[in-house]
Amino acid sequence: MIQRVTYTLAGRELILETGKIAKQANGAVFARYAGSCVIATVCASEDAVEGLDYVPVTVDYNEKYYAAGKIPGGFIKREGRPKDKEILVSRLIDRPMRPLFEKRFGREIQIVPTTVSTDQVNPPDILAIIASSAAVHISDVPFNGPIAGVRICSVKGELIVNPTYKDIEQSDLEIVVAGTKDGITMVEGGAHEVGEDLMIAALEKARSVIIEFCGLQETLRELAGKEKLPLTENSAALENGEDIRAAAYPRLQEACFLKGKQARHEAIHQVKADLKTRYAEQLEDEAQQKLFSALFDDMEYEILRSSILDKGLRVDGRGTEDIRDITCEVGLLPMAHGSALFTRGETQAMVVTTLGTVFDEQIFDDIEGDKREHFILHYNFPPYSVGEVGRLGTGRREIGHGNLARRSLEAMVPSKEAFPYTIRVVSEITESNGSSSMASVCGGTLAMLHGGVPMKKPVAGIAMGLITEGDRYAVLSDILGEEDHLGDMDFKVAGTEEGITGFQMDIKIAGVSPEIMRKALDQAKRGRLHILSVMKQTISKPTAISDLAPKILTLKIEVDKIGALIGPGGKTIKALCEQYHVTINTDNDGTVTIYGKNAKDAEETKAAVLSIVADPEAGKIYQGIVKRIMEFGAFVEILPGKEGLVHISKLSRQRIVTVTDVIKEGQEIPVKLLEIDKMGRLNLSYIDAIDPSGEESSHGSHREDSRRDGSYSRHDRPPRR
């Protein structure tokens, strides 16, 4: 039976429908808003696994090109592996939903939201979040939801709910907020140096809309919801649990507060190993092993949190607002265009900037429409950064962290018009214990400044944490990996001295109050300003662009001169590219961009371009090339494609018999443009380099067949070419 619910938003209906499409899935919802449509399904495996310590859920958001009436570009004409955008939307759905599944369910869960229609006006990602939650909520999969998502933009001081693509382009603030009816659980977005007050206002605006969207899903469940499947009951208990706890707890209290991540890890591992040896016979059972590990996790959780709340002391000895020691270095790599090493405690990022041309821009072919990006950031997290063995590759984590760093820096990257280079920043995480994405932001700023990129302002980032117990709470600055894992919030904030440019928040508990959010934002600002002050001691302004980087020059020519520069069939511009080893790009507005491997080639090309589009000026001296020798004189090219005649009478003060007595074909000679006649022909005179007067004199000896004024008649000059 088909069931549907509707909600009016910004004058359009949001429709959630079930019972028509994908009826064999555990749950399926067809969602529509304006011209955008998403089908979201959820399926669970048949067999359950007892004792899982994680939720085996995957979200695979995908977009079909037919949704926008397009055929995929490239050689293969079908959708392939997920694009970065699809992975980022999958993460937007996964992060707020994952904590609401029960580990005791024990079955693999797959959520597949598919965009099947888009009007290219309203982004479908928010629709995918709502549809995914609705599909799970009405299904038989246990779920402590629903959740909903909403995008908020600030355009000219007005907060807009679910903005269009056009609104997003014009906005100073863009955030995606997700949560349950009880509170916000995820925030992600970017901004142009906005203040903390605007951020709080946007979150409050999103909160009321999320409650409405969650209520819509509750109504759909009442109409079409299935009975939930049972959870796997785990009745097993850890044998000798009290004895193990009594023996391990005091030793863990010491181990958890040793200086250094590796030292703490080894000490905790040793305590665990000793207890494993003592209870080896009991722990031969796999279920007992899992319960044993869970007990140690619980003890670490208690020790860390109680120390922070009761003593204000963190595992590395810092107070709640203290930031680890920071060191910055630039110029680490001699052949890179720009490089930096940013180290904060045990988190380190080696960041490299490479400058390219317009031909290096990132081209996106997706359902939103083709677009190009001149600023690219890639983030790599090799396993050695945490002292582990693993495969190298780019996973969802790398794409997500890289996107956060890119958004945080993007607002401060100069426009393409102001800095006509393609900028690629690569962050190699060489150590990690804390936020490596925020280290990438700091290192990215340093590397771009070292590479000569005229950033509008430096950007720094910091990761904040939260520990709560009842009415007590503590906000932590510059959190460690342990504090991220065992804490209640991971809040990353990046920005300049003036305001916020990027942020990402994941909350593991419901009902974080505005008071806590305000404290976290204010504390993050103090930390960000401290980091910026340290960074500025190393580099605060862009250096000169490396000689190893391509040289890019831009100039404006008159629109009607573009054809002369290009030449018939592109002959002129191709010749210039081959002669000077450059690439030349022309725009319809007369902008000419020259891309050279070095400054010399680019400058020589610029001079050649200017000479091609320049108009000859009477009375001016030119260095010309003798192109053709005739009986009555020589044709000399004074500008590319522009030739004039030096009559034989204008070649020497002495009487000469033949032109070749003075000049040869291919010779470079100085000539003066005497006049441009009514027919546009150029009359030239040879400048004698050995003129004893040192003046720009012309020579006017006469031949019997020449006119007394030194000009030539229509009988002794070939037709104009």
Mean of all residue pLDDT scores within the chain? 89
- From the number of C-beta atoms within 10 Å of its C-beta (0-12, 13-18, 19+), residue 108 rates as middle
User: Using CA atoms, how far apart are residues 279 and 296, in angstroms rounded to an integer?
Assistant: 14
State residue 705's pLDDT score: 39
- Helices (H) and strands (E) counted in the chain, each on its own, are 14, 30
State residue 367's pLDDT score: 83
pLDDT band at 568 (very low <50, low <70, confident <90, very high): confident
Higher pLDDT pick, 697 / 48: 48
Q: Would 395 be classed as within a structural domain?
A: yes
pLDDT band at 83 (very low <50, low <70, confident <90, very high): very high
User: Using CA atoms, how far apart are residues 492 and 468, in angstroms rounded to an integer?
Assistant: 18
State residue 572's pLDDT score: 87
State residue 656's pLDDT score: 83
Q: Would 662 be classed as within a structural domain?
A: yes
State residue 131's pLDDT score: 98
Whether residues 249 and 359 fall in one domain: no
User: Using CA atoms, how far apart are residues 563 and 578, in angstroms rounded to an integer?
Assistant: 19
Whether residues 195 and 255 fall in one domain: no
Q: Would 297 be classed as within a structural domain?
A: yes
The tokens for 380 are 């790599």
Whether residues 35 and 144 fall in one domain: yes
Nearest to 64 by CA among 113, 135, 22: 113
- pLDDT tens digits along 103-121: 889 899 999 999 999 999 9
DSSP summary character for residue 701: -
- pLDDT tens digits along 117-151: 999 999 999 999 999 999 999 999 999 989 999 99
Q: Pick from 261, 280, 311: which residue ends a domain?
A: 311
User: Using CA atoms, how far apart are residues 588 and 466, in angstroms rounded to an integer?
Assistant: 55
CB neighbours of residue 711 within 10 Å: 17
CATH of the domain at 253: 1.10.10.400
CATH of the domain at 693: 2.40.50.140
Q: Pick from 567, 587, 613: which residue ends a domain?
A: 613
* Mean pLDDT computed over 383-387: 92
Measured over the CA atoms of residue 207, residue 211, residue 216 and residue 220, the dihedral's sign is positive
* Mean pLDDT computed over 678-707: 58
Q: Pick from 195, 224, 253: which residue ends a domain?
A: 224
Quick one: what percent of the chain has pLDDT higher than 90?
A: 63
Q: Would 261 be classed as within a structural domain?
A: yes
Q: Is the pTM of this model over 0.75?
A: yes
State residue 515's pLDDT score: 85
Residue 620: give the domain boundaries.
Answer: 616-721
Whether residues 438 and 531 fall in one domain: yes
Whether residues 198 and 158 fall in one domain: yes
User: Using CA atoms, how far apart are residues 118 and 369, in angstroms rounded to an integer?
Assistant: 11
State residue 710's pLDDT score: 41
Largest CA distance in the chain: 126
State residue 701's pLDDT score: 40
* Mean pLDDT computed over 532-555: 93
Whether residues 250 and 393 fall in one domain: no
Whether residues 412 and 433 fall in one domain: yes
Higher pLDDT pick, 612 / 497: 497
Q: Would 231 be classed as within a structural domain?
A: no
Higher pLDDT pick, 661 / 160: 160
* Mean pLDDT computed over 30-52: 92
pLDDT at 720 over 50: no
pLDDT at 711 over 70: no
* Mean pLDDT computed over 291-303: 92
- Residue recorded with tokens 């900028």: 423
* Mean pLDDT computed over 495-516: 88
* Mean pLDDT computed over 550-572: 88
Dihedral, CA of residue 199, residue 201, residue 206 and residue 209, to nearest 10: -170
User: Using CA atoms, how far apart are residues 652 and 88, in angstroms rounded to an integer?
Assistant: 77
State residue 403's pLDDT score: 95
Identify any residues that bridge with 686 across adjacent strands, giving them in sequence order: 671
Whether residues 572 and 446 fall in one domain: no
Query: How many domains does the chain fold into?
Result: 5
* Mean pLDDT computed over 449-460: 96
Q: Would 388 be classed as within a structural domain?
A: yes
Whether residues 385 and 457 fall in one domain: yes
Whether residues 36 and 119 fall in one domain: yes
CB contact at 8 A, 483 and 314 = yes
Whether residues 388 and 498 fall in one domain: yes
State residue 511's pLDDT score: 66
CB contact at 8 A, 650 and 660 = no
Identify any residues that bridge with 255 across adjacent strands, giving them in sequence order: none
Whether residues 591 and 684 fall in one domain: no
Q: Would 235 be classed as within a structural domain?
A: no
Geometric angle at alpha carbon 397, from 394 and 399, rounded to 5°: 60
- From the number of C-beta atoms within 10 Å of its C-beta (0-12, 13-18, 19+), residue 220 rates as buried
pLDDT at 206 over 70: yes
State residue 370's pLDDT score: 78
User: Using CA atoms, how far apart are residues 17 and 37, in angstroms rounded to an integer?
Assistant: 11
pLDDT band at 713 (very low <50, low <70, confident <90, very high): very low
Assign residue 710 a region: left if phi > 0, alpha if psi is -120 to 50, beta otherwise? left
Identify any residues that bridge with 328 across adjacent strands, giving them in sequence order: 342
CATH of the domain at 394: 3.30.230.70
Q: Would 495 be classed as within a structural domain?
A: yes
- pLDDT tens digits along 334-384: 999 999 999 999 999 999 999 998 888 888 888 877 788 999 999 999 999
